[in-house]
Structure 1
Amino acid sequence: MTTPVMRPVRREDFDQILALAKQSGGGMTNLPGDPDALRARIENTVSSYESDPDAPSGEVYMLVLEQEGKVLGTAAIFSAIGLDHGFVNYRINKTVHASKQLKKRIERRLLMPTHDFTGCGEVGSLFLSPEARGGGFGKFLARVRYLFIAQHRKLIADPVCAELRGWRDKNGVQPFWESLGKLFFDMEFEDADLTNSATGNQFISDLMPRHPIYVALLPKAARDVLGKPHDDALPAFNMLLREGFAFRGYIDVFDAGPLVDAHIDDIKTVKESKIYNIAIGDPGDAPVHLMASGYLQSFRAARGAAKADGDTLTVAKEHADALGLTAGDDVRAVKW
């Protein structure tokens, strides 16, 4: 069996990625199950790789996990978000009301519309086929994004954020959307999400409430899911926290899913990665490393046993081949 490799998306991956998108259960704006919206997304990311940019200008770098010619998962890095129309979230703020007459002091939460993350980098679109789960591939998908950022520092804006799908019940009902968004957008969640995927987010700024919203005025079901990730997104949320991302009270305007962020230099995988010269041989019982090579279209990532000795990293030929490397080439690696 060949070594699983992460590589840039190609146009010919469309059918396999569409099948993955339909398995996601919806709610992933950057991995839409609609064929036209997805095709546009893939075309955009292929164009991003081909454009050879020299600064973050809104490019999207989607990666796919491939083994034996089969696409098993996706992940993406967004160079700078919201440059055209802004990137809007709610931030959960605290407000205080006090009455000397009644000797009362009351704290309340307030949803404040913000554009605090406009122009920031983003990681997202992480989805793994159910058939590939359980082998550490979710962690693989997530951490490869950070090696990509480390390899392309001048192309990714700092800080970097990540949005997680908000919680929904077993019937697909999203309490936050039903209690707030639906009243202002006058459409079902799936229609709003598809519009966002297919035509961009200008309509969000056009139609969302323009004033702060007191959380106390929302139904309890909506209050209870503020910042709560989808059950399927909880492992990804926990991995982000372990990497150094933090939840600072920002949530998605549609489903109240949490948004987390980190400065690039604070991301664990970036901090701990190092550039080595490749040597090809038997690494023995050396620890497993996550390894990446190449730039933009030639980027590749794989994992395998690797023996570090100073500035040299010895790897098996199969892993060097998977990365497209020969002896003496540079590779970025971090312990698994």
Structure 2
Amino acid sequence: MSFIMRTARADDLQTLYEMAKLTGGGFTNLPPDRKALSAKLERTATALSRTGEGIKDELIVLVLENTETGQVRGTCQIFSTVGQSWPFYSYRLGMLTQHSRELARTFRAQMLSLTTDLEGSTEVGGLFLHPRERAEGLGLLLARSRYLYIRGHRPRFGDRIIAELRGVIDEAGGSPFWDGLAGRFFGMSFQEADEFNAVNGNQFIADLMPKTPIYTAMLTDSARAVIGLPHPNGRAAMRMLETEGFINAGYVDIFDGGPTMVGQIDQLKTIAAARDVILSSCHDKGGVKMLVSTGTLADYRCTYGLVIEDEDGAVSLDAASAARLHLETGQSFTMAGWA
């Protein structure tokens, strides 16, 4: 494998823009808008240049690079904390139970309540892998590289972590959930609202969205049917998140109704399984496939490597992976297994 995860640079703009045009819509964190993508890269550069610790409202964009061709073929993002610049809204699915003695019946009504429960969480998102590269476990490399980055910069992140999954989008690029609920209040299509949110943020939700709970029984059948469901292309991502330790806690996206997965950073399997070790030697004779990373901030790099660990604890890494990490004998790196 010749792929490495690294932090994004300003000269990645064109490649990110080309990938954004392949997402098919509803991908708020990767909009096909040069200005918005450039702003993300500027935020990343600012975050990577900060030397102090502590949690701030920062964004880290990571990219997947083929070291043989120099092409960027995937990307993902980490938001250090959400809800600082503007409220972070979600719907929370709940149930209201009422009983009538006269009718001798109990009524249970499912409700959607607008909430900011998830403010302060770290968010991982914006994961996209070029369609031609969806093999060899590269999607897992994209996803798990974020967790090792967080582990290596732990003071910059809180305790809770979330991941919003894209909801169901129809063939025309519309959202049944949006059309059945929010679209009735905003006077714009899902595509228009999603593009506006990606570029300008979601403060307009605070201005226009009704704050009272919504009975799901009052929604259209098509809207109810997709509440809490991921886009078909996102089902594998949902399984990866569940394997990592995220759970579906009943939160859904206010735009497309997709599920928001919730986890605890220190309990994520990648982080719990990770160890810092010293490279004793390099080899070219196989080993156990593991996630390996090195460096901090702008020097962070992550890839798959073949690890051999002897009874005395000496760790050897295949020479190709060590070269991709710019790692030399005697230097430390992080490795994580379990998958």
What is the TM-score normalised by the length of structure 2?
A: 0.96
* Structure 2 match to 1:214: 215
Alpha-carbon offset, residue 312 of structure 1: 3.3
* Structure 1 match to 2:93: 92
1:78–1:156 contact (8 Å) kept in structure 2: no
2:284–2:319 contact (8 Å) kept in structure 1: no
Farther off after superposition, 30-39 or 243-252:
30-39
* Structure 1 match to 2:44: 45
C-alpha separation between the residues in 2 aligned to 1:6 and 1:324? Answer: 13
- What amino acid is the match of 2:9? R
2:98–2:106 contact (8 Å) kept in structure 1: yes
Q: Is residue 2:338 matched to residue 1:314?
A: no
1:283–1:306 contact (8 Å) kept in structure 2: no
Farther off after superposition, 220-229 or 300-309:
300-309
2:248–2:262 contact (8 Å) kept in structure 1: yes
1:76–1:123 contact (8 Å) kept in structure 2: yes
Alpha-carbon offset, residue 84 of structure 1: 1.6
C-alpha separation between the residues in 2 aligned to 1:254 and 1:41? Answer: 21
Alpha-carbon offset, residue 59 of structure 1: 0.5
Farther off after superposition, 275-284 or 176-185:
275-284
User: CA 1:267/1:283 → structure 2, altered by over 3 Å: closer, same or farther?
Assistant: farther
C-alpha separation between the residues in 2 aligned to 1:109 and 1:73? Answer: 38
Alpha-carbon offset, residue 308 of structure 1: 2.2
Q: Is residue 2:215 matched to residue 1:194?
A: no
Aligned counterpart in structure 2 of residue 329 of structure 1, from 328, 331, 335: 331
* Structure 1 match to 2:184: 183
C-alpha separation between the residues in 2 aligned to 1:312 and 1:150? Answer: 23
Question: Residues 285-312 of structure 1, C-alpha deviation per residue, up to 9 Å, x if partnerless?
Answer: 3111110111111100011211123543
Alpha-carbon offset, residue 283 of structure 1: 5.6
Alpha-carbon offset, residue 164 of structure 1: 0.3
Alpha-carbon offset, residue 280 of structure 1: 2.8
SS of the residue 2:21 aligns to: helix
* Structure 2 match to 1:277: 278
Alpha-carbon offset, residue 149 of structure 1: 1.2
User: CA 1:85/1:42 → structure 2, altered by over 3 Å: closer, same or farther?
Assistant: same
Farther off after superposition, 38-47 or 234-243:
38-47
2:174–2:190 contact (8 Å) kept in structure 1: no
* Structure 1 match to 2:8: 9
SS of the residue 1:253 aligns to: coil
SS of the residue 2:31 aligns to: coil
- What amino acid is the match of 2:333? V
- What amino acid is the match of 1:317? A
Farther off after superposition, 41-50 or 222-231:
41-50
Alpha-carbon offset, residue 334 of structure 1: 1.1
Alpha-carbon offset, residue 54 of structure 1: 1.2
Question: Residues 255-310 of structure 1, C-alpha deviation per residue, up to 9 Å, x if partnerless?
Answer: 00000111012101111111110123216231111101111111000112111235
1:90–1:251 contact (8 Å) kept in structure 2: yes
C-alpha separation between the residues in 2 aligned to 1:258 and 1:163? Answer: 6
Q: Is residue 2:32 matched to residue 1:33?
A: yes
C-alpha separation between the residues in 2 aligned to 1:48 and 1:196? Answer: 22
The aligned runs of 1:53-68 (5 Å cut-off) are 53-67=52-66, 68=69
1:274–1:333 contact (8 Å) kept in structure 2: yes
- What amino acid is the match of 1:279? S
User: CA 1:53/1:221 → structure 2, altered by over 3 Å: closer, same or farther?
Assistant: farther
1:269–1:334 contact (8 Å) kept in structure 2: yes
Aligned residues: 335
SS of the residue 2:155 aligns to: helix
- What amino acid is the match of 1:328? G
2:40–2:61 contact (8 Å) kept in structure 1: no
C-alpha separation between the residues in 2 aligned to 1:210 and 1:304? Answer: 50
Question: Residues 213-246 of structure 1, C-alpha deviation per residue, up to 9 Å, x if partnerless?
Answer: 0011001111110110011111111100010100
C-alpha separation between the residues in 2 aligned to 1:291 and 1:209? Answer: 47
- What amino acid is the match of 1:6? M
- Root-mean-square deviation over aligned CA pairs: 1.3
List structure 1 runs of 4+ shifted beyond 2 angstroms. Answer: 169-173, 308-313
C-alpha separation between the residues in 2 aligned to 1:6 and 1:311? Answer: 27
User: CA 1:94/1:274 → structure 2, altered by over 3 Å: closer, same or farther?
Assistant: same
1:275–1:311 contact (8 Å) kept in structure 2: no
* Structure 2 match to 1:128: 129
* Structure 1 match to 2:144: 143
C-alpha separation between the residues in 2 aligned to 1:112 and 1:268? Answer: 31
- What amino acid is the match of 2:173? G
Where in structure 2 are there 5+ consecutive unaligned residues?
Answer: none
Question: Residues 62-105 of structure 1, C-alpha deviation per residue, up to 9 Å, x if partnerless?
Answer: 10000121000001111001102111100000101210111010
C-alpha separation between the residues in 2 aligned to 1:243 and 1:120? Answer: 17
Q: Is residue 2:156 matched to residue 1:160?
A: no
* Structure 2 match to 1:256: 257
What is the TM-score normalised by the length of structure 1?
A: 0.97
Farther off after superposition, 31-40 or 225-234:
31-40
Identity of aligned residues (%): 38
SS of the residue 2:321 aligns to: helix
